Amino acid sequence: MGYDIKMISSKFRIKSSNFAEAMRVMKELPEEHYAYVDDNYRQYGTLPAILDGWGWIAMIDKESGDIIDIALQGGDGELFGYSKLGDEYTLFSTIAPFVESGSYIEVMGEDRDIRWEFENNKLEVTESDYKGIED
């Protein structure tokens, strides 16, 4: 069950200088079960590990340590694979103040495409006409 999504594209960046504060706000989320999220994510010691617990893989620049992009981890363990839509709105709205303006993540779903855009410390979600997931 659940709503299937597949990654289309992304441009996503968080400076390493913002990791500690982003981790703090993630760990302060209400203690409840989030859909398709590892319930132990609060115990993780790095922001990339926390993102991984939410089903997203951070691409790290080796020199700066910044997150320079993000990929959806598919349910099959493959990057850019198929996954289930969980509590992405909670995740992305929580870390939005630390994501560089102009960043975005776009996925296609079963009956609509979803785009999370980060601008001026805020998250905006847009849904577009159905393109759908091809089997």
What are the residue boundaries of the structural domains of the chain, listed by start?
Answer: 4-128
More confident residue, 94 or 73: 94
pLDDT of residue 83: 86
The reported pLDDT for the residue numbered 82 is 74
Crossing angle, helix 19-27 and helix 88-95, to 10 degrees?
140
Distance between CA atoms of residues 104 and 19, nearest Å: 18
What would the mean pLDDT of 130-135 be, rounded to a whole number? 57
The pLDDT value given to residue 67: 98
Tell me what pLDDT residue 73 has.
84
Nearest to 108 by CA among 126, 132, 81, 73: 132
Q: Is the pLDDT of residue 16 over 70?
A: yes
Predicted local confidence at residue 26, as pLDDT: 97
Do residues 57 and 5 lie in contact, with contact meaning Cβ atoms separated by under 8 Å? no
Residue 25: Cβ within 10 Å count: 13
Q: Residue 92 gets which letter from DSSP?
A: H
- pTM score over 0.85: yes
Query: Can you read off the two tokens belonging to residue 117?
Result: 């855009």
